[in-house]
Amino acid sequence: MGNGSFDYARFLRSPSVQAMLLAVAIAAAYLFMDTRATLWDRDEPRFARATAEMVASGDYLVPTFNGQLRPDKPILIYWLMSIPMRVLGPTELACRFFGSIGTAVTCWLTFFIGKRLLNTRVGLWAMAILATSLMMLYMGTAATADGVLLPFMVAQMAVFVGFATSTRRGWAQVLLGLAVGGALLAKGPVGGMPLLALAVTVGLARRPYPTVWRLRELTLAGGLGLILFLLWALPANAATEGEFFRQGIGHHVLSRAAKPLEHHGGRFLLYLPYYLPVILIGLFPWTLFLPGALSACLGRRLGGTPFRSLFLAWTVPLLIVMTLVATKLPHYILFLWPMAALAIGATLDAVRHGSLAQQDLRWLQRGAGLFLAMSTLPGLALIAAPWYVRMLDLPPATVLCGLVLLGEAAAVMWAMRTSKPQYLARILVAGTLAFLLPFLLYVMPAIETLKISPTLARMVREKGRDLPPIGTYDYAEPTLNFYIGATLDPLGTREALQAWLAIEGPGLLIISQRALTELAAEGMNLNLDSLGSKRGFNYTKGNMMEIRLLAR
C-alpha cells in the first residue's frame, strides 16, 4: 500500500466484509433460483394472488384470495410482496423476492451469533451450511411467509447474544421488541417462539445475565412486539367484524394445535418421531456432521457454556412444542436450522484443530455412513430416471445430477478412510453447487412441462384483457387464480355446474376430462366449444390429469 491508497486486500480479509459479501452472493443465487420455476400449488399462489388482489384493490389492511377473506397469515408478507410486485408485476421473482432476501439476512445473523459465541470462522461456515441445506434451498425460494419469518426469529436470538455482556438496557429491549413484532406480523404466535428459548436460557443460567436480560426485560420486549402486532391486528379484526381473530387465531392456530388439519398429521404416537426424518433430510448434505456435532455438543466439547446453553434452549423447547402440536409440517421447525448450522460449523472448526474426542469421531463416521445412504439412493434414481420416468422427457443433465451425488458420496468415503475429515465440508459445498447448476438449468425446465395451470392460463389470456366469467369444475388449484389473474368461480357440485351452464352470455369452463367422461356417461351434454387442453401431473393430488378449457 502506498501514499494513502486503499488496502483492498486487507479490506477483503476482514471477516465482517467476507460475511457481507457472502450474504450478497447468497441473495443473488437465491434470486436466480426464484426464476427457475413457476409457482407451486398450493401455498405459493395463495400468497401471491392475495398480494395481487391487494395491489389491485388498494386495501392494505385485510388480504383476500379469490375475493374472499384470507385470514391464514398476518399482513407482513403481503406488504413486502406488494413492493416488488408493483415494480415487476405479478412474476415469480416479485413473489419470491423478499423470501430470498430474508434468507440472506438470516445467514448473516447466523454469522453474527457464531462470531460472538464462537469465532468468525465458525460464523462464516454456518452461513454456507445454512444456505446450502436442502430445507433452506426450498423454503428460501418459496413465496410463503417462512422466508420472511425466519430472519425476525433469528434476529431475536442475535439481539440477545449481542447484548449478553452489556449493561445497556434501552436499545436492547427496543431491538428485541421490534424483532418480535416483525415475527408476529409475519406468522402470528409462532413468531414469539424465540422468547421461550431466551426465557429458558435466562431462567436456567447458573450465573445471572447482566441486568439487560432478565425475565422482566424479556417480557417487556415481548409486550412491545405484541403492541406492534396489535396496531395492525385490531383494525383488521374490526374491519372483518371479528372474523380475522376467529379464523386466524381460532382455526389456524388453536385448531391446528389441537387436531391435524388438511391431513397433516394423525395418531399422536404414530407421528411422535415425525420431525426426526425431517431434520435428517432437511439438513442434507450437512446431515453428515449432525451425529458428530450432537455428540460433541452434548458432551460439552463444543463451544463454551453460553453456546451450549443456548443450543439446548434453542432446540429442545421448539421440538417439544411442535411435537405436541397435532398438525405437523416440515417447515414448522425451520427455526432449528440456523442453530444446527452453528453446531455443525463449530464441529468443522473442531475437526480442523483436531479437538474432537474419539467418540465424536466415531459418530462422525456414522454420519458419513448415513450420508452415503442418503446420497446414493437418489443418485441412482436420477441416473435411471430418463429411462423409467415415462411422464416427462428428462434431459441428459438428470444423469449428470445423479453422477454428482454418487461422486460426492465417493469423495466423502475417501476423506473418511484416509483420515482427512477436514476436506468433508469443501466436498459438500462443491458437490451441492455442482448438483444445483445442471438441475436448475436443465432438469427443472423439464419438470415445468408437467405443470397444468400455467399452460391453461396462457390459453385463457389469449381471449384478451376483458375476460368473461370463468368457472372451474374438478380442478381448482390456486395457481389458476394467480396465472389467469382473475377471480374464478369454483363449481363444487353438479347443481352448481348446471346453474353455471344455464347462465346466458359468454363464459369459460376449466374442467377435467375425467369429469367430462363421468358427466357424459350420466347423459349430461355440456354443449360447449373446446378451446384446448393440457395433460400434466397434479402434484397436490399425485395423479396425471387432462384438463380441458371450454367456452360457453
pLDDT at residue 1, rounded to an integer = 46
Residues with Cβ < 8 Å from 194, sequence gap 6 or more? 153, 154, 156, 157, 180, 183, 335
Query: Three-class SS string for 19-50?
Result: HHHHHHHHHHHHHHHHCCCCCCCCHHHHHHHH
Least confident of 11-15, 45-49, 227-231: 11-15
Span 191-203, mean pLDDT? 92
Model-level pTM? 0.94
Residues facing 471 on adjacent strands: 489, 509
pLDDT at 169: 66
Q: Is residue 422's pLDDT more than 80? A: yes
What is the distance of C-alpha 274 from the center of its chain? 18
Q: Regarding beta strands 543-551 and 529-538, do their DSSP bridges make them parallel or antiparallel, or are they unpaired?
A: antiparallel
Confidence of residue 65 (pLDDT cuts 50, 70, 90): very high
Residue 3 has pLDDT above 60, yes or no: no
Residue entry with cell 388453536: 254
Under 8 Å between Cβ of 47 and 77 = yes
3-state secondary structure 215-269: HHHHHHHHHHHHHHHHHHHHHHHHHCCCHHHHHHHHHHHHHHHHCCCCCCCCCCC
Phi, psi of 548 (to 5 degrees): -105, 145
- In this predicted structure, the answer to whether residue 48 has a pLDDT above a threshold of 90 is yes
Report the C-alpha gap between 463 and 490 in whole angstroms.
20
H-run or E-run covering 529: strand 529-538
pLDDT tens column, 288-339: 999 999 999 999 898 888 899 899 999 999 999 999 999 999 999 999 999 9
Ranges of each domain in the chain = 8-241+275-351, 357-448, 453-551
Question: Can you tell me the mean pLDDT for 93-122?
Answer: 97
Residues whose CB falls within 8 Å of the CB of residue 353, separated by 6 or more in sequence, listed in order: none
Q: Are 403 and 317 in contact (CB under 8 A)?
A: no
pLDDT band per the 50, 70, 90 thresholds, residue 210:
low
Tell me which of 101 and 167 has the higher pLDDT: 101
Residue type, position 128, single letter:
A
